[in-house]
Structures are given as structure tokens and as C-alpha cells.
Structure 1
Amino acid sequence: MFRGLVRFPSRLWGPALSLGKDCSKGPLAPLPITRSAHSAATSERRKFYEDVSISQGEGGLYEINLDRRKLKTPGGKLFTVPNEALAIAVATEWDAQRDTLKFYTMHLTTLCNTAIDNPTQRDKDQMINAALKFLETDTICYRVDEPPGLVELMNNEWEPVLRWIEKRYDVVIGSSSSILGPEIPESTKETFRQHLNSYNFWSLTGLEYVITQLKSVVLSFGLIDRRLTVEQAVLLSRLEEEYQIQRWGNVEWAHDYDMYELRARTAAGALFLYLSSETSTVKRKLLQD
């Protein structure tokens, strides 16, 4: 059960825990960073704790406690987040686990691990450059000449979003049916660079994750700016695939699974960005049910 104990004085890094014989003392230690450890971290494990809580530690950072033992990252660092709102969201992921821990469902925890450990040792400029690379190959900037039905669908569904972002940020992006895609002006890249630079490192981690899922800077900004819902952004990112499925059919369970997974990851990335930007403290405690 999750209890809020609030005391006032870029490669994604999934959850990884080493469960020794004595689970009653000391912090939760990470698994060694090896291929086998990574595989173990993404599998299911028997749940080993009863209570989940949050507490405020040094520097005003928030910690996650499993039966009052402090959670650590795969890199061995103390798992700390910058505000109470994000701590509550992560704690909720752990509290939602039942008999087994399904680490692959814990997207917020994974994003926090990535931001804390920064396994690829990137700085903000490198993250921004990586995000801007997606602009050059943005999903909705690549169009087709045929079949007519798909051309019409792309124009009807993608063009309004593209026109919106060009107006919203006063930039030129355009689209192309060439394999090379449109030529993005340097002024557009600079405008987006300045906008991305306004995000902190944690928020950039979330935004980059959303961009990676949607394969689109345009759709990601549409989602973050609340122009699009998660469902709309995901559907637009899969527009061509959905068209082909409607035309030729699909393996229903596989399609549904992929769709739900993409929605979950995209929603988690957007939520992580919002919560990472949160500066106010949640004024209430979560009490034990």
C-alpha cells in the first residue's frame, strides 16, 4: 500500500534490484550492469515488499521507499526525484504491482533511472541535437504520391498539424514525397533549438522519449502543447500503417498490443515531462487505504 511520508526540513535504464537473503536492512542494491542483469530487469519477478512510501531527503529531493528501504538505480545511485508530484507517480507504479513485478510496465521509473544515471553521459546540447535529428526525418513530413486514398488521408490528417506548428513557432518545415524529405531551413532548427533549451535535463529526457516513440518532433510538440491527445498523436504517427491494415487486414491481437504499448509509452513520456517541470509541492498526503 502506498503511503506518502513527506517530511519538510537518453538509452533507457530500467528498474534493476538485487534481492539478497536479508531484505530488512540497508538500501536496495542494484544488479551488476551486465547483459544478463538487463534481461533480468525487463522480466517479471516475485514482489518482495508490502508498503510503498515517499520521503524527502537531502537537498529537498524525494526518495522512494519499499518497506522503508530506499530504492536505488541500476547504476547504484540513490533513486531521487526533484519534486513530490513525480515521486508520487513513481511510487504509484510500484504500488500497482501485484504478485509479480512487471518492470516493463514501469515507464516512469525507467525514465527516472535514465535521468539519474545518464548511462550514455550526454549533456543537454547532445540531447537537443539528437531530438533535432528527428526533425529531418519527421514522420509527417514524408508523403507519398500514391495510392490516391493514402495521399488524401495524409493531406487531411497531417497537413493541419504541420500548418499549426509552423504558425505556432513561426517556422517553415514543409513536406516532400522525395526519399530525401524536405529541406529544413537553419532558422527553423535554431528556433526549435532555443525552445528545447528552455527545458531542464529531466524534461528533455521525457520529451526525447516521446519523440522517439512517435518518430516525430511535430507530433510530439503537438502533444506536449496539448494540441493533440495521446490517442491522436499515436494514431497520426501510425497513419500509413493503419491505412494498410484497413485495406489488407491484420493480425488483430498483435496490432492491438502494439497500439496499446505505444500509447502507454507515449503517455508516460508526456507525463514524465509535465511532472519533471513541476515546481510546486503537492499539498496533501496520500493516506493508506
Structure 2
Amino acid sequence: MFRTLAKLHSHFGNAFYLRKVCPIYRRCRFASKYSTTTTERKRFYQDVSISQGEGGMFEVNLDQRKLKTPGGKLFTVPNEAMAIAVATEWDAQRDTLKFYTMHLTTLCNTALDNPTQRNKDQMINAALKFLETDTVCYRVEEPLALVELQKNEWDPVLHWIENRYDVTIGSSYNILGPEIPDATKDTFRQHLNSYNFWSLTGLEYVITQLKSIVLSLGVIDRHLSVQEAVLLSRLEEEYQIRRWGSVEWAHDYDMYELRARTAAGALFVHLSSESSTVKRKLLQD
């Protein structure tokens, strides 16, 4: 018997749990729609460049026009590395702008406009709430092959994060999930508080993709590659596909999209913490 109620989040891509319960999912759906109100648009510029503005912030220019956020703010990022990454997204667009592929731009818009008007404490609380329903903490009791697969693939990651942060998380076959000790929550709260607002925005995005704070921190801490984390987040789905088969093109598309979004979120976290100036030309002739 597969997961019931909360456990359905893995078998069905977390759709039930996320839509009904998870506050991160609701906010990020709003932020995504807010940041990409038009999914496609004809390209209206020739050249993309970056420049340094007031206060050391960097701007992205489309021809001679400064990029703006959906909320009308000047699009500014904290360092040159982030500016180059965003400018590259805009330069990579061809005749049609596909905003749904511009994940870094969307994350910057969300951080700048903060459409849900949250502060760091609220973002940290949302992340910690997700710890209680982490994908890798919910285990099935049958079939035996899947039980063993979860144990072999998920347990090493759980052991790593428990040792890395000196916490106790555990796993559970119970619908309510494992009982997370207050000391564990306090440790993670202190760790997440060391992130700046922009980095938390990126981390939150990664969590929504992987449905797991454990896997997300594994990627951010470079313990897991994006590809490894995505496969671990889809473990039960991949098991079912190997057993029953799938529509090949749809499976591949979903996999590549999830990798792209997760990689963009992780890159955003690291770029948001980047303080050094990247001394190289943005676009080569």
C-alpha cells in the first residue's frame, strides 16, 4: 500500500500536499505568476550589457534601457556575478522571449519586489515547517523492493545531514512523519538565519522543487549534485516508472525541467552570497 494523505506528495509529485498545506508552495506559485505574467513575448532588444549603479549595485541594460521589475523597480542585483548570470539569460533568448525559462531573472524579481511582503523570520519559519514533511523522511512499508530502495538511497543522506549539523531528524512510516526535536529546529533556524534575504529566496525555491529541506541543503552544501538530488526526490516515481514504464518524452521533459529549476535555485543561493567582483567582459563579440 502506497503513501496515504501526506505521503501522496511523493507518488503524485506532492501536488495534494502542496496545494492544500504547504505555505511555501502557495507563495512561490504566486511569486512565479507575479514575476512572469507574460510567458512569451517577441524580443525587443539587440544588445544586453551590465553596469554598476549607485551603492555598488549592478544593473542589467537592454540596449540603452535599464531593466525594471514587474513592480516597476529598477532591476538591481548585489554583485557582478549575479548581473552576468541574469544578462546571459536575456542574451540567450532568440526571436521570442520565453520568460518561463529565465529562472534567475524571476528569482531576482521576487527578491526585489517581495510581492508577499515577508521578512527573513517568516521565510525561515516556512522552511522549518517543511522539515516536518520532508520527502526523505516518509517511508513505505511495501513493496519490499521500494522499502529497500528508500533505505539504501535516503538513509545515507539523512545520516550525512544529521552528522553535518549535529541534529536528529529520523524517518517514519507514520502518516504524521517523524517528530522533529526542538533542538534540531533551533539548530536549523540558527543556520538559516546566517543566509541573507536573497539567499533565502533561492533556498526556498530549491525546496519547492525537491520537496525536501534535507536534499536542498545537500545541494547547497555541495554534498549532492543537482542530478543526484533530483533523482532522490523522485525515488518512488522512478521506481514505478521502471516497473510499469512511462511516456518517455514526458518523463524526460519533467526530469530536465526539474534539474534546470533546481540548478537555477542553487546557483542563485551561491551568487547571492558572492562578494568578489568578476573581472571579465560580459558578452564577447
Same fold (TM over 0.5): yes
Q: For the Cα contact (< 8 Å) 2:80–2:278, is it kept in 1? A: yes
**Shift of residue 288, structure 1, vs aligned partner:** 3.4
**Shift of residue 142, structure 1, vs aligned partner:** 0.2
**Shift of residue 38, structure 1, vs aligned partner:** 5.4
**Shift of residue 69, structure 1, vs aligned partner:** 0.2
Q: For the Cα contact (< 8 Å) 1:207–1:269, is it kept in 2? A: yes
Decide which structure has the larger Cα Rg and report it: 1
**Percent of pairs identical after alignment?**
81
Q: Give 1:199's match in structure 2, choosing from 190, 195, 198.
A: 195
Q: For the Cα contact (< 8 Å) 1:14–1:113, is it kept in 2? A: no
Partner residue of 1:54? 50
Q: Alignment partner of 2:61: what SS?
A: strand
- Give the distance between the partners of 1:101 and 1:72, measured in 2 at CA: 16
Q: Give 1:147's match in structure 2, choosing from 138, 143, 146.
A: 143
**Shift of residue 285, structure 1, vs aligned partner:** 2.2
Q: For the Cα contact (< 8 Å) 2:36–2:106, is it kept in 1? A: no
**Shift of residue 14, structure 1, vs aligned partner:** 5.3
Partner residue of 2:207? 211
**Amino acid of the structure 1 residue aligned with 2:169:** I
Counterparts of residues 235-250 of structure 1 (less than 5 Å): 235-250=231-246
- Give the distance between the partners of 1:170 and 1:54, measured in 2 at CA: 42
Counterparts of residues 1-289 of structure 1 (less than 5 Å): 11=28, 13=31, 39=37, 41=38, 43-289=39-285
Deviation string, structure 1 residues 134-153 (Cα, Å, up to 9, x no partner): 10000000001100000000
**Shift of residue 254, structure 1, vs aligned partner:** 1.1
- Give the distance between the partners of 1:99 and 1:131, measured in 2 at CA: 38
**Amino acid of the structure 1 residue aligned with 2:205:** Y
Where structure 1 has 5 or more consecutive residues not aligned to the other structure, the ranges are 1-9, 16-32
**Shift of residue 217, structure 1, vs aligned partner:** 0.6
Q: Alignment partner of 1:257: what SS?
A: helix
Deviation string, structure 1 residues 102-122 (Cα, Å, up to 9, x no partner): 000000000000000000000
| Matched residue count | 258
- Give the distance between the partners of 1:234 and 1:201, measured in 2 at CA: 25
**Shift of residue 44, structure 1, vs aligned partner:** 1.5
- Give the distance between the partners of 1:136 and 1:95, measured in 2 at CA: 41
Q: Alignment partner of 2:59: what SS?
A: strand
**Shift of residue 13, structure 1, vs aligned partner:** 4.1
**Shift of residue 284, structure 1, vs aligned partner:** 2.0
- Give the distance between the partners of 2:225 and 2:246, measured in 1 at CA: 25
Where structure 2 has 5 or more consecutive residues not aligned to the other structure, the ranges are 1-26
Q: Alignment partner of 1:172: what SS?
A: coil
Alignment root-mean-square deviation, CA: 1.4
Q: Alignment partner of 2:222: what SS?
A: coil
Q: For the Cα contact (< 8 Å) 1:150–1:243, is it kept in 2? A: yes
Check 1:220–1:281 CA distance in 2 against 1; reply closer, same or farther (3 A cut). Answer: same
Q: For the Cα contact (< 8 Å) 1:63–1:81, is it kept in 2? A: yes
Q: Alignment partner of 1:64: what SS?
A: strand
**Amino acid of the structure 1 residue aligned with 2:274:** E
Check 1:135–1:119 CA distance in 2 against 1; reply closer, same or farther (3 A cut). Answer: same
**Amino acid of the structure 2 residue aligned with 1:172:** T
**Amino acid of the structure 1 residue aligned with 2:184:** T
**Amino acid of the structure 2 residue aligned with 1:199:** Y
